[in-house]
């Protein structure tokens, strides 16, 4: 003590099995006071008392340690529970999606079958018409439009055929693709609509893109869906705000991080945008904000499924009332 007299100090640390001590119980006994005790009996009693108190302190510190550890375990278990319920909710959502897709699969099987016959007839008649027009010496621009029609019809036929064959074996016409060319070709398909709506188109295509191994129809189908979504959105904004300047931006980018290399293709429009609360839902099958007959709500679901085949991803960002940007990522060397 400060007055020079000695004291006896008892420390009992509160220590978890691993790691540093959490705290300690401490007791001081004045030696002066102990020495001043008159006879030996008192001294023995004092020592015995002290020993009892020491034991009590040790027991107390043991129980304190247990309580603190139990409290920690409880908090860990609570966190685990929260994680598990989030995982459960996710699994439930995916299950509902898969069920919807299964129903869709059955419906489309008969749909695809029934659609095949009229498609064949249309293709045949378009070829005949082309022959007639060539004989009549029709304008070059008419023939170009006819070729686009034939090309598009062929695509529908391929999709239908691909679907009907998909139960047997997947269509595998993989090619090394220049994605910039695929983007240009897809833009050509929507160009009549772009022109009719007076949309300003900005293109920034990265010429460092190397070829990507993919089925051309897959990439075209994804891009076509994205471009049509953007044009739909620009159109509906134009209806509400006729003076609004419609702008569409398409881009491609070569990206590299460490050993990973991938391509980004994107479509950005200055249309209606998507409210934050609906952003997660746009990939759900049958989710649409379009009128009956104008949208099925399957476009983005199909795009995502196609990209999964290439270990690719589709990401959507938006600001309600202002813009929407959809980015598609395809890794090089994915063994699709
Ligand atoms: N560029 C975009 N701008 C604004 N909203 C969009 C855009 N792209 C998608 N959406 C929203 O996401 C919904 C789902 O899109 P998705 O392409 O899956 O279906 P859809 O376009 O409604 O119908 P479908 O493509 O089958 O004809 C759309 O109805 C729309 O509300
Ligand atoms: Mg769509």
Domain containing residue 180: CATH number: 3.30.565.10
Residue 244 resides in a domain: yes
What distance in angstroms lies between residue 287's CA and the mean position of ligand 1's atoms?
A: 8
More confident call, 233 vs 106: 233
Q: How far is the CA of 220 from the centre of ligand 1 (A)?
A: 17
Residues 6+ apart with CB under 8 A from 45: none
Task: Looking at the structure, tell me whether residues 47 and 191 fall in a common domain.
Answer: no
Cα-to-centroid distance, 316 and ligand 2 (Å) = 13
pLDDT of residue 2: 66
When computed from its CA atoms, the radius of gyration of the chain, rounded to whole angstroms, is: 37
Answer with the residue of higher pLDDT: 272 or 121.
Answer: 272
Domain boundary among 59, 77, 95: 77
In a domain, 288, yes or no: yes
For residue 168, what pLDDT is reported?
A: 46
Residue in 288, 306, 320, 327 to alter for ligand 1 test, most ligand atoms within 8 A of Cβ: 288
* Per-residue confidence (pLDDT) for residue 217, from 0 to 100: 84
Q: What pLDDT does 169 receive?
A: 40
Atom of ligand 1 nearest to the CA of 301: 18
> What's the average model confidence in pLDDT over 287-300?
88
Cross-strand pairs, 262 = 255, 331
CA distance between the termini of the chain: 80
Mean pLDDT of 270-279: 96
> What number does the ligand 1 atom closest to the CA of 269 have?
1
Q: What does the pLDDT read at residue 13?
A: 77
Top-ranked range on mean pLDDT: pick from 77-91, 291-305, 309-323: 309-323
State mean pLDDT over 58-74: 90
Q: Does some domain include residue 98? A: no
Atom 8, ligand 1: which residue's CA is nearest? 229
The answer to whether residue 131 is domain-embedded is no
d(CA 308, CA 30): 77
- Mutation choice for ligand 1 from 233, 275, 300, CB with most ligand atoms inside 8 A: 300
Q: 172 or 77, which is more confident?
A: 77
**pLDDT > 80? residue 10:** no
151/221 Cα distance (integer angstroms)? 13
**How many separate domains does the chain show?**
2
To the nearest whole percent, how much of the chain has pLDDT over 90?
41
Q: Do the Cβ atoms of 255 and 263 come closer than 8 Å? A: yes
- Report whether 310 contacts 214 (CB < 8 A): yes
Q: Residue 170 pLDDT > 60, yes or no?
A: no
259 domain-assigned: yes
Which of 228, 272, 297 to mutate to test ligand 1, by most ligand atoms within 8 A of the CB atom?
Answer: 297
Last residue of a domain, one of 28, 58, 77: 77
Pocket of ligand 1 (CB under 6 A): 225, 229-230, 233, 269, 271-272, 274, 282, 287-290, 295-301, 324
29 or 274, which is more confident: 274
Q: Residues 163-187, buried b or exposed e (16+ Cβ, 10 A)? A: beeeeeeeeeeeeebebbebbeebb
In tens, the pLDDT along 177-209 reads 999 999 998 998 888 889 989 999 999 999 999
Please name which of 159, 171, 152, 150 lies closest in space to residue 116, comparing C-alpha atoms. Answer: 159
- Tell me the mean pLDDT in the region 317-325: 97
Return mean pLDDT, the chain.
Answer: 85
Please indicate, yes or no, if residue 256 is contained in any of the structural domains: yes
* Confidence bin at 214 (pLDDT 50/70/90): very high
The residue range of the domain holding 257 is: 173-336
pLDDT of residue 6: 76
C-alpha 285/C-alpha 299 separation (Å) is: 8
Residues shown for the chain: 336
- In the chain, what percentage of residues exceed pLDDT 70? 88
Q: How far is the CA of 1 from the centre of ligand 2 (A)?
A: 84
Q: Would you say residue 332 lies in a domain?
A: yes
Residue 181 and residue 60 in one domain: no
CA of 213 to the centre of ligand 1 (A): 27
pLDDT exceeds 70 at position 110? no
Q: Where a domain ends, among 42, 77, 112? A: 77
137 in a domain, yes or no? no
Task: Please check whether residues 179 and 319 belong to one and the same domain.
Answer: yes
Tell me how crowded residue 100 is: count the other CB atoms within 10 A of its CB: 16
């Amino acid at each position: 003590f400060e007055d020079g007299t000695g004291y006896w100090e008892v420390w009992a640390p509160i220590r978890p099995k691993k790691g540093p001590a959490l705290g300690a119980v401490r007791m001081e006994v004045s030696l002066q006071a102990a020495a001043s005790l008159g006879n030996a009996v008192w001294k023995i009693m004092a020592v015995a008392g002290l020993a009892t108190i020491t034991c009590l302190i040790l027991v107390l510190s043991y129980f304190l340690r247990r309580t603190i550890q139990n409290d920690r375990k409880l908090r860990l278990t609570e966190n685990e529970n929260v994680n598990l319920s989030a995982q459960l909710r996710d699994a439930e959502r995916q299950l509902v999606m898969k069920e919807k897709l299964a129903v869709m699969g059955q419906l489309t099987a008969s749909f695809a079958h029934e659609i095949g016959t009229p498609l064949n007839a249309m293709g045949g008649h378009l070829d005949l018409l082309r022959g007639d027009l060539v004989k009549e010496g029709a304008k070059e621009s008419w023939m170009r439009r006819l070729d686009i029609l034939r090309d598009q019809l062929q695509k529908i036929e391929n999709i239908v055929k691909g679907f009907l064959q998909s139960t047997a074996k997947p269509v595998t016409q993989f090619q090394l693709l220049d994605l910039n060319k695929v983007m240009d070709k897809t833009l050509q398909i929507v160009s009549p609509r772009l022109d009719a709506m007076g949309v300003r188109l900005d293109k920034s295509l990265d010429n460092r893109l190397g070829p990507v191994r993919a089925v051309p129809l897959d990439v075209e189908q994804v891009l076509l869906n994205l471009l049509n979504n953007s044009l739909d959105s620009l159109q509906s904004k134009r209806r509400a705000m006729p003076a609004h300047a419609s702008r569409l931006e398409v881009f491609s980018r070569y990206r590299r991080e460490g050993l990973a290399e991938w391509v980004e293709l994107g479509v950005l429009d200055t249309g209606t945008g998507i409210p934050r609360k609906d952003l997660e839902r746009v990939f759900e099958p049958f989710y649409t904000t379009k009128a009956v007959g104008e949208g099925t709500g399957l476009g983005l679901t199909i795009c995502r499924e196609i990209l999964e085949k290439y270990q690719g991803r589709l990401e959507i960002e938006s600001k309600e009332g202002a813009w929407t940007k959809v980015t598609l990522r395809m890794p090089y060397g994915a063994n699709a």
